[in-house]
């Protein structure tokens, strides 16, 4: 687990033990950024109309979801994944619209802008970027990474806003992809309207949530206690999510099958010699997508979805 590492970083941030120098930013700066960012978002959410306790629950739930997804991405090697539910749903079902009121319901709907599509969160991309620049010798060669990431975020947001507006005004949003320009913008408010108009009992949902937590705890214990246990607990919380069901399970199964056969009959040497080939398959997918973008632009093809997720 990460408890020992986090405790060590906390002690380094407080000056209780020397900094090892292997991190892209200092532990003190990391904890300061966490505190400032948490307080800023908490203030922003309360200013948007949320009650303090609702904002606190939402922000804590979002942080937990992002950390959990990042752990899954890092350990499983997935390009990304999403949660089966968002913190807003747990809050609305837990308290009910009568307790929350219209002001909190509206604020929760607006908050889905940044914690609605959990597959598109920054922490997944940051985890992959840090893995590509692992600095194990402590030389600090990758201290420029946070600056590069910040520049990429600013450029990406600016480019996305410009491209979205340009496409909508040039071709008309109603003529473009129905989800991106229709379903997704309406979803937060359609969902809040449905919850407010037809509240559902929370106890059955809480019961199933408790069962799921128990199963997950059991899988974790079995994995840590018995080396022969075949089922990895990572698959359980994301088993029924959209990205894994439609894009992930077959790829994960094929990767497991090929890796098992290669390690069993070829050994670690053959496994390592085949890694460039499979990395080439990943790069080939990107190259193919890039090729189709140019072909669509040149010949006017329509309807080709390039990296939907």
3-state secondary structure of 156: helix
The residue whose two tokens read 């913190």 is 87
Higher-pLDDT residue of 169 and 79 is 169
* Cα angle: 214, vertex 220, 222; to 5 degrees: 100
- Condensed to tens digits (0 to 9), the pLDDT of residues 237-251 reads 888 888 788 777 888
In a domain, 208, yes or no: yes
- State the pLDDT at residue 241: 84
In a domain, 225, yes or no: yes
- Which range (173-187, 190-204, 205-219, 265-279) has the least confidence? 190-204
Average pLDDT of the segment spanning 185-210: 77
- State the pLDDT at residue 258: 92
In a domain, 20, yes or no: no
In a domain, 220, yes or no: yes
Tokens linked to 34: 């966490």
289 has pLDDT over 60: yes
**The domain containing residue 211 runs over which residues?**
201-229
Indicate yes or no: pTM above 0.75: yes
223 has pLDDT over 80: yes
In a domain, 224, yes or no: yes
What is the count of structural domains for the chain?
1
Report residue 123's pLDDT band, with 50, 70 and 90 as the boundaries.
confident
Tokens linked to 248: 């992930």
- State the pLDDT at residue 222: 92
How far is the CA of 183 from the CAs of 120, 190, 191, in angstroms? 17, 9, 11
In a domain, 219, yes or no: yes
- Condensed to tens digits (0 to 9), the pLDDT of residues 79-103 reads 878 888 888 888 887 787 778 888 8
d(CA 309, CA 305): 10
In a domain, 215, yes or no: yes
- State the pLDDT at residue 221: 92
Average pLDDT of the segment spanning 231-241: 86
d(CA 26, CA 15): 11
56 has pLDDT over 90: yes
Please report, rounded to a whole number, the percentage of residues in the chain having pLDDT higher than 70.
91
């Amino acid at each position: 687990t990460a408890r020992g590492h986090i405790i060590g970083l906390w002690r380094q941030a407080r000056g209780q033990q020397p900094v090892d120098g292997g991190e892209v930013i200092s532990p003190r700066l990391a904890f300061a950024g966490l505190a400032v960012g948490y307080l800023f978002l908490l203030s922003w959410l309360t200013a948007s109309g949320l009650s303090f306790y609702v904002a606190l629950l939402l922000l804590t739930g979002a942080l937990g979801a992002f950390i959990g997804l990042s752990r899954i991405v890092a350990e499983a090697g997935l390009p990304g994944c999403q949660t089966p539910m968002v913190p807003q749903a747990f809050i609305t079902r837990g308290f009910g619209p009568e307790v929350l009121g219209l002001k909190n319901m509206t604020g929760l709907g607006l908050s889905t802008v940044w914690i609605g599509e959990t597959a598109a969160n920054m922490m997944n991309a940051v985890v992959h970027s840090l893995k590509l620049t692992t600095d194990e010798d402590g030389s600090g060669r990758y201290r420029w990474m946070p600056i590069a990431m910040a520049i990429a975020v600013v450029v990406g947001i600016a480019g996305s806003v410009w491209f979205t507006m340009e496409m909508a005004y040039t071709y008309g949003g109603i003529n473009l992809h129905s989800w991106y320009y229709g379903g997704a913008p309406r979803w937060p408010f359609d969902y809040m309207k449905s919850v407010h108009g037809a509240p559902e009992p929370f106890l059955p949902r809480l019961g199933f949530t408790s069962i799921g937590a128990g199963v997950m705890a059991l899988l974790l214990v079995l994995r840590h206690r018995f080396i022969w246990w075949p089922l990895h607990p990572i698959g359980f919380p994301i088993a029924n999510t959209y990205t894994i069901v439609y894009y992930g399970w077959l790829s994960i199964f094929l990767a497991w099958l090929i890796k098992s056969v290669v390690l069993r009959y070829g050994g670690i040497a053959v496994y390592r010699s085949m890694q460039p080939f499979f990395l080439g398959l990943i790069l080939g997918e990107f190259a193919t997508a890039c090729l189709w973008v140019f072909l669509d632009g040149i010949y006017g093809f329509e309807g080709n979805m390039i990296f939907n997720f």
